[in-house]
Structure formats: structure tokens, C-alpha cells
Amino acid sequence: MNVMVRLHSPYDAVLLAGVERRQMARIFITGSADGLGQAAAQTLLGDGHEVIVHARSAERLAAVNDLIGRGASAVVGDLADQDQTRAVADQVNHLGRVDAVIHNAGIYSGRQILPVNIVAPYLLTALIHRPQRLVYLSSGSHYGGRADLADVDWSGQRKTGSYSDSKLFVTTLAVAVARIWPDVYSNAVDPGWVPTKMGGPGAPDDLRLGHLTQEWLATSDEPEARSSGGYWFHQRLRTPHPAVRSTHFQDKLLAALASFTAPLT
């Protein structure tokens, strides 16, 4: 039997804001087999935090062998597939409650842009036992996104959304979660145009700065990092696309994602 997944659903044992956190955190990072996700995992492990890394397939686990050897746990699943995304959430929950999730995984082109870049973060947010901190990877490209949900094919069978659209949607999700879950620090981060596989070797921004803000928001007890509903670039707040802060658009997006991920039987 299918069950409607909604961000409004209550969870037991909620971690309340203001409760003292232990010094070291447990952090789950999607898309951590390469790029910014892998770099963040390496840094956080080096700082003594517990990290759960994620690979798209069993074959891709080889890319995180060194992280596993250093003590990281690993989960596997293709975020372009809704059933596998649900399985990833189950694997994370089985490992125990996490303090933070960094929704890092993303793709730049192809029909799977919406499933990977927005449907998967929504599902994982709804299904993973609620952490105290959520970080969603956005992009400066979100300013070019269309705040229009008409005729969107969330399944990826038809390409109805661009990369910019997907980043506008995920930035809106981050701010919507901050509004709906006031006990959670939920933020979006523009990592900049950095020299990763996605960004290309000629990208002009600093690679270290590309993952510093995510790590900071996921673990720091500085007052600025213990905020919510922000759109960040290199640890500085920026003003996002106007649609991001529209509660009407937020609610429409959440309703559309809930309807797609758990249709009524």
C-alpha cells in the first residue's frame, strides 16, 4: 500500500533546536563518490566527525574505499530511481539517527535532472529520521529557473525541467523546510563554479570554498551557522530568487512532489 509522503508528518524523538549537541556530529552526504561530496566527506572525517557516504551503485563504492577505510559508513542507491532513493533512506535510518544531511548529489544535464536534483532530496528529507541540520546544494543558476510547475514531468521520462529549474526548486525546498520545521536548521548553499567533474577543469572558483560552507552549516556551533532558511555563498548570505520565499510557491512545490512520490492507489 502506498503512503502519502508529506513534510508535515510528525516524527518521534525530534531533536529540538537549542538542545546541546555533542561535539562530534554524524553526517550523511549524498553523491559523495566524487566532487564536492567526496571533498566534504574527507574534511569532515579528518575533523573527527562520523560520516555516511553514498554511492550510486555497488561498483561506485570503489571510489569511496579510502573513506570507508578511514571509518566512514556507506549506503548505495541510484537517486534517479524513486525505489532506490527510498532504500537509501532506509539504509541511513538503519545506521542510526544522523545530526545532519548534506544533499550534495546532482547532475547537470539529461532527463534525470528533476529526479536527482529535486525529487530525491524531497524524498530523503521526508523519509530519513529528522536531523537537526539540512543542507541543500543550490547554484547561482537558480536565478534563471522558472517558477512554473505546469506540465512538469518529475519522473524524468520527458525532459521538462532545466538545471536552473531544478536548483530553483531545491532552494525553495530548503526554505520551505525551514518554515515548516522550525526546530531544524535548513539552508541552501551555492558552492560556486568550482573545478569538479561537473564544473570542469577551467572553473574559476576555489575548490576548498566550494565545500566549506556545507561543512560549516552541518557542524558549526557559531550563531550564524545555527540559523535557518538562508541561501549561502562562501559563508555569506545572499538574496535568492524571489519565488524561493513565496509561501504560495513553496506550498505548490511541496504538494506537487508529495503527489508524485506517493500517488493514491
DSSP strand E in 161-220: where? 185-190
Whole-angstrom Cα distance, residue 231 to residue 239? 7
Whole-angstrom Cα distance, residue 192 to residue 207? 9
3-state secondary structure of 256: helix
Cα 216 to chain centroid distance, Å, stands at 15
- Residue 159 annotated to the active site: no
- Residue 167 annotated to the active site: yes
- Which residue(s) pair with 73 in the sheet? 52
Cell numbers at 45, concatenated: 572525517
Whole-angstrom Cα distance, residue 113 to residue 161? 7
By CB neighbour count within 10 A (0-12 exposed, 13-18 middle, 19+ buried), where does 40 fall? buried
Contact 231, 237 (CB under 8 A): yes
Identified catalytic residue from 122, 136, 159, 163: 163
Identified catalytic residue from 167, 197, 231, 252: 167
Whole-angstrom Cα distance, residue 113 to residue 155? 10
What residues are annotated to the active site? 163, 167
